[in-house]
C-alpha cells in the first residue's frame, strides 16, 4: 500500500524562466501529509497558490496557475517530476513569477529531490481512479481517459518536419518515469523563433534549454532519445494532469494535444464527479508486462 511522501530536507536551485527570461530561485520544502503541492511567492509576502485545477490560468505555451491576480508560470515540468518520483507533499517557494526552465526537461527536479531523499509519511496515498471513459476533442486534437489497472499514457504527435509523426506509450505504475521520460527536453522551431520572441513568449530560450529545430534537423544535437519530442509531450501531460491534485489510476490517450487540451481534461474530470472515485486501494496489474505494453501500443494506433 503506497504512502504519501515528502522531501527529506529543503533543496534549492536557480535559473531563468523560459517565457519571461526572469531570474528565479526555487526552493522545495518538506510539507505535512495531506498538503499537496503548494506554490509560495516569497517576493509577494508569501502568497500561496495550490497546484490544483481550480487555479489553472491562461494556457498557451505553458501551464500557469493564478489566484487573486497572482501568477505562477510554467509549472508542468516540476509537477511532472513529482508525479514521476512519487512526491505528494511540498511547499515550492519562488521569488519570481516563473519556474526555472533549467535544461528544458524534468531531470534536474528529479535529481534535486532524490538527492535530498524522499520521506514516507503516515498517510495512505489517495488516487483518482477513472471509472468511466471521457473524451475531449477539438478539431483533429483528442485527449481521453479510460478505466485501467495502473497509470498508463499513450501519446501521438504530428508536427512539421523534421519531427513528423511520433508515438509513445508508457506504464507509469512500473516506475519507468526516471528512465524513459524525465530527461526529455522541450523543443521549438527556429522558423518560429522571431515571432515568439516578438510576442515576448520565449525571452529565456536558448540552445541550453530548448531543442532547436530547423526544417532539416536538430540544430543543437544530439537528442537524448530518437523520439524525444513525443516523450516530452508525455512529460508535459503528466505535469498538467497533476493539477487533478492526485495521481491517476487510468489510461490516458492523447493525439496532437497540448497544454490547453491537457488542462481541458482536468477541468472536465473535476466538473463531473461521476467519472472517477478516490481510492487508496491500488490493484496490481494482473496481466504480464509484455501484454500490457502491447495493449497500450495498440491503443495509440487506434487513437
64 binding Zn ion? (CB under 5 A): no
User: Toward Zn ion, which CB reaches closer, 180 or 236?
Assistant: 236
- In DSSP notation, the chain reads --EEEEESS-EEEEEE-TTT--EEEEEEEE--TT--EEEEEGGGTTEEEESSGGGB---SSS-EEEETTEEEE--HHHHHHHHHHT--BEEEEESSSB---TTSSSHHHHHHHHHH-EEEEEEEPPEEEE-S-EEEEETTEEEEEE--SSEEEEEEEEETTTTEEEEEEEEGGGT-HHHHTTTPPPEEEHHHHHHHHHTTS-TT--TTTSEEE-SSSBTT---SSTTHHHHHHHHHHHHHHGGGSSEEEEEEEEES--HHHHHHHHHHHHH-GGGEEEES--PPP-S-HHHHHHHHHHHHHH-
Q: Is 251 a catalytic residue?
A: no
User: Toward Zn ion, which CB reaches closer, 75 or 186?
Assistant: 186
Q: Are 153 and 169 in contact (CB under 8 A)?
A: yes
Nearest distance from C-beta of residue 76 to Zn ion, angstroms: 5
Q: How many residues does the chain have?
A: 303
- Which of the stretches 31-39, 234-242, 251-259, 295-303 binds Zn ion when contact is defined by CB under 5 A? 234-242
Nearest distance from C-beta of residue 226 to Zn ion, angstroms: 18
Nearest distance from C-beta of residue 164 to Zn ion, angstroms: 19
236 binding Zn ion? (CB under 5 A): yes
Nearest distance from C-beta of residue 19 to Zn ion, angstroms: 11
- Which of the stretches 36-44, 115-123, 155-163, 231-239 binds Zn ion when contact is defined by CB under 5 A? 231-239
- Which of the stretches 17-25, 232-240, 246-254, 270-278 binds Zn ion when contact is defined by CB under 5 A? 232-240
- Which of the stretches 162-170, 228-236, 258-266, 295-303 binds Zn ion when contact is defined by CB under 5 A? 228-236
Choice among 19, 232, 251, 259 that is catalytic: 259
Nearest distance from C-beta of residue 101 to Zn ion, angstroms: 9
User: Residue 229: left (phi > 0), alpha (psi -120 to 50), or beta?
Assistant: alpha
- Which of the stretches 18-26, 201-209, 230-238, 255-263 binds Zn ion when contact is defined by CB under 5 A? 230-238
Nearest distance from C-beta of residue 278 to Zn ion, angstroms: 28
Size of site (CB under 5 A) for Zn ion:
2
| Residue 138: HSE in the Cβ half-sphere, 13 Å Cα cutoff | 11
User: Toward Zn ion, which CB reaches closer, 55 or 186?
Assistant: 186
User: Toward Zn ion, which CB reaches closer, 81 or 148?
Assistant: 81
263 binding Zn ion? (CB under 5 A): no
- Residues with Cβ within 8 Å of 218's Cβ and at least 6 positions away in sequence, in order, are 162, 211, 212
Which residues in 175-194 contact Zn ion (CB under 5 A)? Answer: 186
User: Toward Zn ion, which CB reaches closer, 30 or 258?
Assistant: 258
User: Toward Zn ion, which CB reaches closer, 4 or 180?
Assistant: 180
Which residues in 144-163 contact Zn ion (CB under 5 A)? Answer: none
**Interface with Zn ion by CB under 5 A: which residues?**
186, 236
Active-site residue set: 259
Amino acid at each position: 500500500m503506497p504512502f504519501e511522501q515528502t522531501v527529506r530536507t529543503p533543496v534549492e536551485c536557480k535559473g531563468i524562466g523560459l517565457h519571461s527570461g526572469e531570474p528565479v530561485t526555487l526552493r522545495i520544502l518538506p510539507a505535512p501529509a495531506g498538503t499537496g503541492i503548494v506554490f509560495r511567492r516569497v517576493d509577494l509576502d508569501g502568497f500561496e497558490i495550490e497546484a490544483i485545477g481550480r487555479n489553472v490560468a491562461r494556457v498557451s505555451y505553458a501551464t500557469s496557475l493564478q489566484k487573486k491576480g497572482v501568477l505562477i508560470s510554467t509549472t508542468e515540468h516540476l509537477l511532472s517530476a513529482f508525479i514521476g518520483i512519487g512526491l505528494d507533499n511540498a511547499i515550492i517557494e519562488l521569488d519570481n513569477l516563473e519556474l526555472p526552465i533549467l535544461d528544458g526537461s524534468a531531470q534536474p527536479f528529479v535529481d534535486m529531490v532524490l538527492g535530498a531523499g524522499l520521506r514516507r509519511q503516515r498517510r495512505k496515498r489517495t488516487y483518482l481512479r477513472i471509472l468511466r471513459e471521457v473524451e475531449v476533442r477539438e478539431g483533429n486534437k483528442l485527449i481521453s481517459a479510460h478505466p485501467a489497472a495502473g497509470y498508463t499514457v499513450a501519446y501521438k504527435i504530428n508536427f512539421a518536419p523534421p519531427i513528423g509523426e511520433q508515438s509513445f506509450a508508457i506504464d507509469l505504475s512500473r516506475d519507468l518515469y526516471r528512465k524513459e521520460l524525465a530527461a526529455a527536453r522541450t523543443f521549438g522551431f527556429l522558423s518560429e523563433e522571431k515571432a515568439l520572441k516578438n510576442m515576448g513568449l520565449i525571452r529565456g530560450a536558448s540552445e541550453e534549454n530548448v531543442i532547436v529545430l530547423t526544417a532539416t534537423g536538430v540544430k543543437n544535437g544530439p537528442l537524448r532519445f530518437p523520439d524525444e519530442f513525443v516523450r516530452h509531450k508525455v512529460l508535459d501531460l503528466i505535469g498538467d494532469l497533476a493539477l487533478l491534485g492526485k495521481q491517476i489510476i487510468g489510461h490516458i490517450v492523447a493525439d496532437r494535444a497540448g497544454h490547453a487540451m491537457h488542462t481541458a481534461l482536468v477541468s472536465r474530470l473535476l466538473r463531473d464527479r461521476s467519472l472517477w472515485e478516490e481510492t487508496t486501494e491500488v490493484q496490481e496489474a494482473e496481466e504480464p508486462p509484455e501484454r500490457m505494453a502491447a495493449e497500450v501500443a495498440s491503443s495509440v494506433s487506434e487513437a
